[in-house]
Amino acid sequence: SYELTQPPSVSVSPGQTARITCSGDALPKKYAYWYQQKSGQAPVLVIYEDSKRPSGIPERFSGSSSGTMATLTISGAQVEDEADYYCYSTDSSGNRWVFGGGTKLTVL
Amino acid sequence: QVQLVQSGAEVKKPGASVKVSCKASGYTFTSYGISWVRQAPGQGLEWMGWISAYNGNTNYAQKLQGRVTMTTDTSTSTAYMELRSLRSDDTAVYYCARLRVVGHYMDVWGKGTTVTVSS
């Protein structure tokens, strides 16, 4: 079965740049999406189609993809950005969708 | 505004079935799909599948094939997810989310429904 691999945790100080990676064999041909989930809340879409930002998402959130790796970058991370972040994509067939295991971002 | 309102928490015994509802408002229901995602306690997100509200086409996660059924009622803009033969490891928060037809990604989520399976 298809898998997306994320680091379990990333830690930065406020104002620093946080980068969260997601690797998957189909990413060269399939878009990556990123969701933020704060404790006890439903997920929120922060990046779609590798690098597009939905309305209402701060400009400090950006995405990129190269080869088999997609990256979510938070430039000037703030304490309120502490959350779990999940990448989401599909296998080469486009029929099986998966989430990465999630990355806990700590900002302190 | 776009909203997805889910039904309340459920407690079920092993072997039983559960049916969770998700009522949509604020948009044209049949122009999107509905995805279902679950999250076991302390665990990550798990994609369960999706249904097109336009034509009822479905796509289920392989591990749930045969136990899950997703349906919609376009007259009430409501989606349903039924899971049968419940086991303890089905204990989770179940989310519905609006599915963009182009791209197959979720852009608006419900608040979740807690399903507890316990004898």
A37 touching chain B per CB within 8 A: yes
| pLDDT(B103) > 90 | no
Q: What ranges make up the beta strands (E) of B1-112?
A: 3-6, 10-12, 18-25, 33-39, 45-52, 58-60, 68-73, 78-83, 92-99, 106-109
pLDDT tens figures, B8-41: 999 999 999 999 999 999 999 999 999 999 999 9
- CB contact (8 A) between residue A33 and residue B110: no
**Average pLDDT in the B68-80 region?**
98
**Average pLDDT in the B47-56 region?**
96
Q: Which residue of B has its CA nearest to A53?
A: B107
- CB contact (8 A) between residue A42 and residue B105: no
pLDDT tens figures, A36-83: 999 999 999 999 999 999 999 999 999 999 999 999 999 999 999 999
Q: Which of B44, B106, B111 shows the shortest C-beta gap to A45?
A: B106
pLDDT tens figures, A24-49: 999 999 999 999 999 999 999 999 99
- CB contact (8 A) between residue A48 and residue B105: yes
